[in-house]
Amino acid sequence: MRRPTRSMVAAIALLAGAVVASALPGQSNPGIDTSTLDTSFAAESTSLYCAGISPVGVAGSGGAKFWNSSNEIRHLDLEMTNDNKVVASSTTIGPKESFFLPVGSTLEGSVSVRAQIDGSGVVGSLFTTGPDSTSIPCRSEGVTDWYVAGLGTAGGTTSRVTLLNPSATPAVIDISTQSSLGYLAPAPYQGLVIAANGQLSLDLGQRVVEAKGLAVHVTALRGSIVGSALLVVAGRASIMTGQSGPSTEAHYGSLNTNEASTEVINLYNPLEVTAHVKLKLQMPGFTIAPISIDVEPSATTSVKLVPDTRVPTSGWATLRVTSPEGIVSTLYSGGNGYARLASPTMTGTTLAWLSALDHNGPVRVVPVQGKNVPVTFTYFKGRRAISTTVKASAGVPVNPPDAWLEATYGIVSAGTPLLMQGVVGANGLESGLNGR
């Protein structure tokens, strides 16, 4: 397999901005990377693909939750699938109602959920349970290139890639890796066939042994794929969406700067030119000098952001990653009792908030640009919409109304892109989806 060239890369479109959310002094809860679907992912499509969860009793277990943001009843044909078996079911979701589908223990290995819906307006989130819960949005279409960085197979670390074929014809893929072992294109990873509407999951440690700083590139030679990655470190599981191409701008919504916290950005340059990368941390009330780093072609590297003498131990920060050439990235967050790897947080002008578990911890919303931007929070009592509008400026978090949070799902919108940020505890998980 040849190395990827610039012409092989489709850039992912992310909206600009940086977000800040505060925390109580000394707070050690991890910041969850609340995910939002950009409009380019067609979140209102009648197909949703939620890839790469684990069954009950295995690291990375959880389920999928769907919310019907429309005013009509929606019928969902559901399939839970692993590499070899499919379990089918169906359900209906009333207007402004939600449905939770736990993965359970029927299927082994990596499990994915497919939903075929008879109309628009349904959004979905896949999440892992437990004190280190993470969530990613379900996707509505496949891509021809898929990248993820920051994985590993050394020191007992487990890295699993799950690839769904969303079409009715077989897909053919090649997989390459870049890590401490250099560039690898293992022969068993070339010309792999994923059956029509099928799934393929790979334990990377079987072919890429004792690798650190592991990045993966999947190329669809025929058809398309929906990808996710699962990383397990010391029993703590993270699930990631990855990227469809090197991004010129990306954001991470939740960095913990408090004591005993560690924040590391992982970078992967799959291009044939050097990527010039700038890392900009933003916190309310502080000015932090950006970090510039060059990443050589077909190389991986990482930068420790916290702890660092330039970063005050003062709660939550956000990170903006920019590169004119494009870069693939993930953020590792570690601290007292948690370890997590996350793909970039995505932004949107309208976000649907979906609480997959009991609410625990603050949720904040921040415009990524502008001053005194009207931000409207909408929640529902039955079919009746109740809205509250507040003013907010770029980089300054606003708290949603209590009633919006108590509803466990709702919509927030503005005339400029927004970013949601949540704090997750043992019983809480927030997920922002661009659902309308």
Model confidence, pTM: 0.85
Q: Backbone dihedral region of 95: left (phi > 0), alpha (psi from -120 to 50 degrees) or beta?
A: beta
Q: 48-64: buried (b, 16+ CB within 10 Å) or exposed (e) per residue?
A: bbbbbbbbeebbbbbbb
How far apart are the C-alpha atoms of 67 and 58, rounded to whole Å? 26
Q: What does pLDDT average to over the chain? A: 83
Ordered mean pLDDT values, 10 residues apiece, the chain (436 residues):
35 23 27 31 67 91 89 95 96 92 94 95 83 79 97 96 97 98 96 97 97 98 98 89 96 85 96 97 88 97 95 86 98 84 85 64 78 93 89 84 83 87 43 44
CA distance linking residue 310 with residue 294, whole number of Å? 20
Q: Would you give the DSSP letter of residue 39?
A: G
Which residue, among 136, 126, 80, has the nearest Cα to 104 in the 3D structure? 80
Residue 102: partners with Cβ closer than 8 Å, 6 or more residues away: 56, 62, 63
Identify the pLDDT of residue 345: 79
- Specify the pLDDT at position 278: 98
**Contact between residue 217 and residue 146 where contact means Cβ atoms under 8 Å apart:** yes
Residues 51, 53, 58: CA angle, nearest 5 degrees: 160
38/417 Cα distance (integer angstroms): 10
- Angstrom CA distances, 297 to 275, 301, 325, 343, 416, stand at 7, 11, 11, 21, 34
DSSP-derived pairing of the beta strands 171-179 and 145-151: unpaired
Give the per-residue pLDDT at 131.
Answer: 59
Write down the pLDDT at residue 13. 23
Cβ atoms of residues 163 and 64 within 8 Å: no
In sequence order, what are the residues at sequence separation of 6 or more whose Cβ sits closer than 8 angstroms to the Cβ of residue 384?
none
Establish how many alpha carbons lie within 13 A of residue 172's alpha carbon, considering only the half-sphere containing its beta carbon.
4
What length does the chain have?
A: 436
Cα–Cα distance for residue pair 229/162, rounded to 1 Å: 6
* Residue 307 preceded by cis peptide, ω within 30: yes
Q: For 435, phi and psi rounded to 5 degrees?
A: -105, 5
**pLDDT for the residue 32:** 28
Residue 223, Cβ neighbours under 10 Å: how many? 19
pLDDT of res. 253: 78
Q: What are phi and psi of 273, to 5 degrees?
A: -125, 155
Position 251 scores a pLDDT of 86
pLDDT in the model for residue 39: 31
Residue 27 has a pLDDT of 30
List the beta strands (DSSP E) in 336-362.
338-342, 348-355
Comparing CA positions, the residue from 147, 247, 161, 246 lying closest to residue 205 is: 161
Find the largest Cα–Cα distance for the chain.
57
Q: What are phi and psi of 33, to 5 degrees?
A: -80, 80
Domains of the chain from N-terminus onward:
247-339 (2.60.290.11), 348-433 (2.60.290)
Q: Burial letters for 368-383: b for 16+ Cβ neighbours within 10 Å, e otherwise?
A: beeeebebebbbbeee
Pairing of strands 98-102, 62-68: antiparallel
Query: Amino acid identity of 149?
Result: A
In 3D space, the residue among 339, 429, 325 whose CA is nearest the CA of residue 152 turns out to be: 339
